[in-house]
């Protein structure tokens, strides 16, 4: 465990960060990518009738196809990122920031897309 000392209002505090194991790292990165992919797929299927119709035809309902696609992407990327140990120098704090950032970006994308419908 790596420890760094920081000063908080004159008091010494110890902040620790942990190196991540390869599976936590791989599936954490997969979560970040899948989260952003979710927002993009949502916008594309809402804008494009052919994509929406293809997703409806694939598994009976577009939301089911959407969910299966996201689960598939999450698992495949998680395994790939875990096997190749994409960035072995990452720690849990950095991964947390990336996950929070991807959620914020996804919320902004979806909100901006649906905002005209909310005010209409």
For residue 120, what is the DSSP state? -
pLDDT in tens, 63-112: 999 999 999 999 999 999 999 876 667 888 999 999 999 999 999 999 99
Predicted TM-score (pTM) of the model is 0.80
With a cut of 80, say whether residue 7 has pLDDT above it.
no
Q: Whats the size of the chain, residue-wise?
A: 120
Distance CA 24, CA 19 (A): 10
pLDDT in tens, 18-27: 677 889 999 9
Which residues, 6 or more positions from 93, have their beta carbon under 8 angstroms from its beta carbon? Answer: 17
In the chain, count H helices and then E strands: 4, 2
pLDDT in tens, 94-107: 999 999 999 999 99
Which residues, 6 or more positions from 74, have their beta carbon under 8 angstroms from its beta carbon? Answer: 27, 30, 31, 34
């Amino acid at each position: 465990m790596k420890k760094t000392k920081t000063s908080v209002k004159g008091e010494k505090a110890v902040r620790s960060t942990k190196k991540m194991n390869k599976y936590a790292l791989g599936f954490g990165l997969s979560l970040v990518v899948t989260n952003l992919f979710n927002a993009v797929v949502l916008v594309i299927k809402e804008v494009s009738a052919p994509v929406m119709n293809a997703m409806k035809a694939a598994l009976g309902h577009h939301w089911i196809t959407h969910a299966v696609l996201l689960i598939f992407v999450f698992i495949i990327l998680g395994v790939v990122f875990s096997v190749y140990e994409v960035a072995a120098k990452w720690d849990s704090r950095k991964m947390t920031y990336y996950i929070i950032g991807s959620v914020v970006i996804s919320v902004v994308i979806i909100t901006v897309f649906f905002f005209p419908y909310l005010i209409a």
